[in-house]
Amino acid sequence: MVGYDPKKNLSELDYIFAGSASGFITRLFCQPLDVLKIRFQLQVEPTMKKYASNSKYQSIFQATKLIVKEEGIRALWKGHIPGQLLSITYGFAQFSTFEVLTKQAAHLGATGKWNTVVNFSCGLFAGCTATLVSFPFDVVRTRLVAQSYEQKSYKGVIHAFGVITKNEGRMVLFRGVVPTFIQVGPHAGFQFMFYKIFINFYKTFISDENSTLSSSVFAGSAAGFCAKIAVYPFDLVKKRLQISGFNRGKTFGHNFSCNGMMNCIYRIYKKEGYIAFFKGLNASLVKAVATSALHFSSYEVICETIHKYRSIS
């Protein structure tokens, strides 16, 4: 169902609805993994166990237990509202853009043996479009997740938007957008490309039965895993840029500041070493597999449900 198919009886509004609903469902279940990933990414101290004796967060299990102990279980959904706004906005923008672009590519005859290139290119542009539309929500969500329980700078989403724009200017809401484009563009391209590859693999070698849920869960999981490894360092740099100069409180260890993307990369490497660019990778891979599987499978199921309903009526 993902991508242009002349047999589909769906409108652009249907794609927008399915993408939004998919984003909502994915965020609801995967927000705790996102909180863990961000906490690891923003920690300046080492995360590897043999070097992390003085670090706040050292493993997924230890970090989860500590967050619940210090801040309560609700902290695992910290930043959930802006996260939902981000996911819903990103979901409808990404999927609807991908559907439109693949339809145009098919009409121009750029499919067939070029399918892999088309899926990657359309996914790349869809990811960049969705990122630009939803990026301010990402900045606010990161700030809300990053702040400590004892020292809160923001009371909520609206307050955070107001304080950030008043004290730091509106352009701060797009701080980190350059490394995000560098990360999200290829990531989305790889994600859609791998998804199509693994869907065909599933139908060829595992089961050729028309099972939308099982095939999309399998392909989505594999695609999320492969795509995340390929572009992970840029995700970490983006997160560091988003909290640059933001005082998170003493409970989280050292605060981080930098001047632009290249300076951010230099500071991370100089102080923390090359391994720092993969901080939080374990939590991120778990999240990538879960979110990608949920994202694609829920989108596919919703589209298939709408298609069947339209066919009957």
| 169-226: pLDDT as tens digits | 888 888 878 877 887 899 899 999 999 999 989 988 887 666 678 899 999 999 999 9
Say if residues 119 and 3 touch (Cβ distance below 8 Å).
Answer: yes
Is residue 55 helix, strand or coil?
A: coil
Tens of pLDDT, residue by residue over 128-165, are 999 999 999 888 888 887 776 667 788 888 898 999 89
Is pTM beyond 0.95? Reply is: no
- Residues 71, 72, 77, 79, CA torsion sign: negative
Q: Residue written as tokens 């999309």?
A: 216
Cβ atoms 78, 32 nearer than 8 A: no
Sketch out the chain's domains with CATH numbers: 12-312 (1.50.40.10)
Tell me which DSSP letter residue 51 carries: G
Q: pLDDT tens, 112-131?
A: 778 889 999 999 999 999 99
Q: Which residues touch 126 (CB under 8 Å, ≥6 apart)?
A: 93, 94, 95, 97, 98, 101, 188, 192
> Which two structure tokens, joined as six digits, stand for 19?
């993408």
Contact 146, 243 (CB under 8 A): yes
